[in-house]
Chains A and B, each alone.
Chain A
Amino acid sequence: MTEAKKYPTPVGNPESQPFWDAAKDGKFMIKRCTTCGEAHFFPRAICPFCFSDKTEWEQSSGEGEIYTYSHMRKSATGPYVIAYVTLKEGPSVQTNIVDCEPDSLKIGQKVKVVWKQTDGAPLPFFTPA
């Protein structure tokens, strides 16, 4: 898991590009609706909860805790840990827990964002805090 793994380059689109631009500065952005007040991820132009178009970018702390995970023991690119992390700001995000000892992970464990390089914008992952 510590070897440099080749990750896919985010393609981006007009709706999501601000996320990838901020990622280059190490900022993990989420969207919040100013009508209903709810934050969501991945980012959308229109709020999935109240369908308002008043959504704004907000920088997440990049801190959260493991909601659930699974240690995939074998794959074409080696073992990995897939997980959902619930951010301090509320939304849960799909991710991998990296740079960790998979057998020592626990649901509820505190984790923080860590960036991995691609051929374009970096990708967010999480690692034990």
Chain B
Amino acid sequence: MSIKGKAYIAGIYEHPTRHAPDKSIAQLHAEVAKGALEDAGLTHKDVDGYFCAGDAQGGLWPMVDYLGLKPRHVDSTETGGCSYIIHLGHAAQAIAAGKCSIALVTLAGKPRTGVMPPRLQGAEADFETAYGATTHNAYGMCAMRHMHDYGTTSEQLAWIKVAASHHAQYNPHAMLKDVVTVEDVLNSPMISDPLHRMDCCVVSDGGGAMIVTTPEIAKSLKKPLVRLIGHGEAMKGPRGGKDLDLTYSAGVWSGPRAFEEAGVTPQDMKYASIYDSFTITVLMQLEDLGFCKKGDGGKFVSDGNLISGVGKLPFNTDGGGLCSNHPVNRGGMTKILEAVRQLRGEAHPKVQVPNCDLAIAHGTGGLLGVRHAASTAILERV
């Protein structure tokens, strides 16, 4: 059974806050849920499916109770930043199977004003904890090897940040609104080789939510129709250390699954939301998804090719994690939200892609250089 066309995104909401010292985490979840329901024209009594991930304090029990929901289908799949893209696919499966008809997915948190829970560890703990893998250096290791194998340069990576900054100047909520140059990126302090500060995303409080529903219910509501036509998910890790290759991600598996289900190709995409935890994340994902050949990512992203109205593949037109926000260090939800805005024609006029009818939202979660998940969603305006 395919989920193609079986589920629509009928409501979206992105919290405008980037710094929320005066709010609780649960409150932020409730606020984004309320926003997405109002956007859809629904109420919280209509919700019969609920999805949340590791950012939801205490998991499903307290969240469902706090929000006052009565779901008949729940899912707390936790794959870091791409959890919400996986939730979208799982919600579509549940809707297609009749297990729920109006699914709410929430993400929210406040790493700037609270304490982030420690990363959960598995059987590897004794053999890895002491070496201090963090997001910065785990992605740095991928970038180092990509440069070694393919000649990718810091200048090429910098173009990804430059493109994001061109878009962020039009987003009133973006944390970093200044347009930057390749030189600005290269002159920013080195954090973990070869990644400079401006190769890294922001840290922000905030969140987002979406409503996923049946074709019939979506058509009864007032918003432009956006549906899911392809979805993929995959995971990758060192797997015993054999044939280690950090130059590709699980996107090489999640991407083709999604494109095949949708019956479209990367070249058909009018807009791309690509998780940009770091510049190298974007470059590797574009290769893995088939926007260019493996190793050609550096050339592909250069010279403004990702800038809306300038290049061939407009990406992250809200400014993305590199410039706008990165709620709870998890970028998957905001990738879906901006893709839906593009498909609805609700992006900022300066970055709106004309006749945007096909878009991709793709993300990774975990540590790209250690263990991670990837998920790909292909969305269509009906």
Contact = CB atoms under 8 A, between A and B. Distances in A.
Interface string B155-199: 000000000000000000000000000000000011111110000
A127 interface: no
A109 to B, nearest CB: 12
Contacts of B145: 67-68, 107
Given A40-B242, A92-B241, A94-B238, A82 B132 contact: yes
Nearest to A12: B126
Interface in A66-124: 67-75, 77, 80, 82-84, 86-87, 90-96, 107, 123
Given A40-B240, A40-B242, A86-B244, A69 B130 contact: no
Contact of B141 (A48, A70, A77, A123): A70
A68 B144 CA distance: 6
B297 interface: no
Interface string B129-162: 1111110111011111100100000000000000
B61 interface: no
A84 B370 CA distance: 10
Contacts, number: 116
B190 A73 contact: yes
Contact of A90 (B124, B191, B242): B242
A41 interface: yes
B144 A72 contact: no
B123 A42 contact: yes
Classify chain A: how many residues form its interface, as a range. Answer: 35 or more
Interface in B348-382: 369-370
Contacts of A77: 132
Contacts of A38: 240, 242
Interface in B192-219: 192-195
B244 A82 contact: no
B131 A82 contact: yes
A91 B131 contact: no
Interface string B229-242: 00000000011111
A107 B130 contact: no
Contacts of A123: 130
Interface string A52-70: 0000000000000001111
A72 B246 contact: no
B292 to A, nearest CB: 22
A77 B190 CA distance: 17
B144 A48 contact: no
A34 interface: no
B128 interface: yes
A71 B193 contact: yes
A18 interface: no
A47 B239 CA distance: 10
Contacts of B369: 68
A16 interface: yes
A20 B238 CA distance: 21
B115 interface: no
Contacts of A27: none
B130 A82 contact: no
B251 to A, nearest CB: 19
